[in-house]
Chains A and B, each alone.
Chain A
Amino acid sequence: MVTNPQSPYLPKTVEVVERIQETQTVFTLRLRFIDEGFSEQYRFQPGQFNMLYLYGVGEIPISIVSDPDGLPFIDHAIRVVGRVTKGMAKLKKGDRLGLRGPYGQGWPMDLARDKNLLVITGGLGCAPVVSAINYVIERRADFNKLTIMQGVKLPSDLVWRSRYEQWSQIPDTEIYLAADEGAANWPWHVGRVTELFDRMSLAPDTVAMLCGPEGMMRVCIKELVQRTIKEEFIFLSMERNMQCAVGSCGHCQFGPYFVCKDGPVFCYAKVKQLLAIKGV
């Protein structure tokens, strides 16, 4: 008779220390492990993610947006889109959920050190890169110019407007925003996000970090490559359905890769071919 040792799928209990409503559909949960001993062992890299489990409902991958030095607190910015996220939106301070992680390969912060950093997000995807932005801002002297670009459909889609305003105040930081359609209080560009590339100067040693819909990333990468950014310096965060986050369930396969363990952050040079084909 053989009995199971502890399963790698077993979450740990965490508590909501704080809940911040960022926009109508985005909220941040600040979490802390109940088990302090475990909390002390827990470490992560910017760009990694956790599996968050809502009691009785389900488990979903969510990036960590807080700084690695911010432990024991772990922040997750969650956008309400469907079943689990809708349920999580109801969590209050003091509520508990399950967490396991951290998983995956984060952003190449070491590579970006002492270089220019360009962060591009589009559509609704921005949580994964926020960790990188925060990381740089906390260690501003270690990095050169920081450029943040975001394209949205409607001005109202812009999450964290106030943060953009804050970020733009930080030295050597540039913000480029574009909305497909304008609005009264939209001081930024109206049009495609790619049109913004013509307004900025990109040094060839820029490290680019992208996150957003695959179509948007494809277009942006094309612009970057044309502007002589090295393929090895372009990084993107991929999304695929994820059930287990440890390379077991097979859902997150992207070509030969498992997004959960080989990604979610991939170097463009590595996935160039795959990205060109639809439905991979």
Chain B
Amino acid sequence: MDLYYLPRSGFSQLIDVLRNHAETIMVPKAQDGAMVFSELDPGEEIEAGWQEVQDAGRYSLEKTESPRWFKWATGPQALKPIVYPPREALWRVEKQGITFESVPESVPATAIIGVRACDLAALSLLDKHFLGSQFPDTAYKSRRDSLFIVAVDCARSAATCFCVSTGDGPSATQGFDIALSELEDGFVLRSGSARGESLLKGFSRANERQITLSEKQVDQAISMQTRQLPAQDLRSLINKSLESDAWEAIAARCLSCGNCTSVCPTCFCHSESALAELDGSSSTQYREWDSCFTQSHSYIHGIVIRSETATRYRQWFTHKLANWHEQYGRSGCVGCGRCISWCPVGIDITQEVATLNGN
């Protein structure tokens, strides 16, 4: 594979090239205490030095002296809100004649910089879910097709990361157009698609030293990971534990608030609702993120199938770590650790697996 090098000062060249391909460029920004993807205005630069500290139920940003732009490991979002927005209109209907029409949406071509390996793994799971069925989701597809992805290899892991154990990180291996490895003074770049390759062609090659440095960084990120999921497929463990007391023990702590499912980059549950104009002349059908932690998720008339938090947590856990295998051929967890950090009471999925496993 060809590796290129771009000094930090020359990064604007890459941005310029990207602007020829994309109407919108999204970059990580520190906003309200977390790193989130946000539009890069022309002339604006990516802010250096931000680094986050994460732990169960904790996330805080620190501004360091480092010149690096991608020192942080993960933010609360992956690509999920971009390809699958929290709330969107599906179609509209006119009262006159009850005629249905799609809601036309034009999706700007978007380049997004700073995507992590776990985010890419999650994206390919969402692809399988939304596009792999007999009824591909057209809205998802439009947004998916509009993306140009610039990934970045993690040089650091957060305390909550465990992508090494799930096999999804810390360096990007698939699903990107371009991947960066950030060094103090610049970037080692590689392409992951034909269009990525064509953009990089003009850049100069990376040298030995730069390549070694970038590889070392990944090793460092690997060595920083303290959490993990067991290497084996968890299906049999979970399936034999469906009636274990462990779920009650978790339910004593779990709030059933749905934060974990919302931040999880692979959770896809949503509900639909009709929003009619007050005068009743037309109505729009919306879908919005839902969670298996709500009552309505398992409601059928007169019964809530999972009325207890214990069964809801079990549903989430079982789906993520066991049933995903049946549905999409692999576990639904990519090791990003978001559900650990963003749980208001700090419930830790890796710890719960360990407990179930008798540790």
Contacts and interface: CB of A to CB of B under 8 A. Distances in A.
Interface of A: 1-13, 53, 55-59, 81-82, 96-98, 239-241, 243-244, 246-251, 253, 255-256, 258, 261, 273, 277-280
Contacts of B322: 256
Nearest to B308: A279
A241 B100 contact: no
A2 B242 contact: no
Given A2-B142, A96-B98, A279-B314, A249 B104 contact: no
Among A4, A9, A13, A244: residue with most chain B CB under 10 A: A4
A171 B287 CA distance: 50
Contact of A241 (B108, B137, B299, B314): B299
Contacts of A280: 242, 305, 311, 315
B104 to A, nearest CB: 6
Nearest to B95: A55
A10 B92 CA distance: 9
Contacts of A249: 269-272, 287, 290
A13 B268 contact: no
Interface string B230-270: 00000000010011000000000000000000000000111
Contact of A7 (B102, B269, B325): B102
B298 A5 contact: no
A248 B137 contact: yes
A1 B106 contact: yes
B146 A81 contact: no
Nearest to B323: A256
B323 A255 contact: yes
Nearest to A61: B300
Contacts of A97: 98
Contact of B271 (A7, A55, A251): A251
Interface string B89-116: 0110101011111111111110000000
Given A1-B23, A98-B93, A256-B326, A251 B297 contact: yes
Given A248-B133, A256-B323, A256-B326, 13 more contacts: A3-B105, A3-B106, A4-B139, A5-B138, A7-B91, A58-B272, A59-B272, A241-B299, A243-B272, A247-B133, A247-B135, A249-B270, A261-B134
A240 B301 CA distance: 10
A240 B106 contact: no
A7 B108 contact: no
12 contacts: A4-B104, A7-B90, A9-B91, A10-B100, A10-B102, A13-B98, A57-B276, A244-B287, A246-B134, A248-B133, A249-B272, A256-B327
Contacts of A59: 272, 274, 285
Given A4-B102, A255-B323, A9 B276 contact: no
Contact of A55 (B93, B107, B239): B93
A250 B100 contact: no
B125 interface: no
A98 B287 CA distance: 17
Contacts of B139: 4, 7
A1 B108 contact: yes
B136 to A, nearest CB: 7
A62 to B, nearest CB: 12
Nearest to A3: B106
A251 B269 contact: yes
B306 interface: yes
A101 B57 CA distance: 43
Contacts of B99: 13
A96 to B, nearest CB: 4
Contacts of A9: 90-91, 285
A246 B133 contact: yes
Give 6 closest A-B pairs by Cβ, nearest first.
A279-B311, A250-B269, A256-B326, A56-B276, A96-B98, A8-B135
Contacts of A58: 272-274
A59 B142 CA distance: 25
Given A241-B296, A249-B271, A7 B138 contact: yes
A11 B318 CA distance: 33
Contacts of B273: 58
A243 B102 contact: no
Contacts of A55: 93, 95, 98, 276, 283
A244 B139 CA distance: 14
Contact of B298 (A6, A56, A57, A251): A251
Given A2-B109, A3-B106, A246-B133, A241 B95 contact: no
A277 B327 CA distance: 20
B188 interface: no
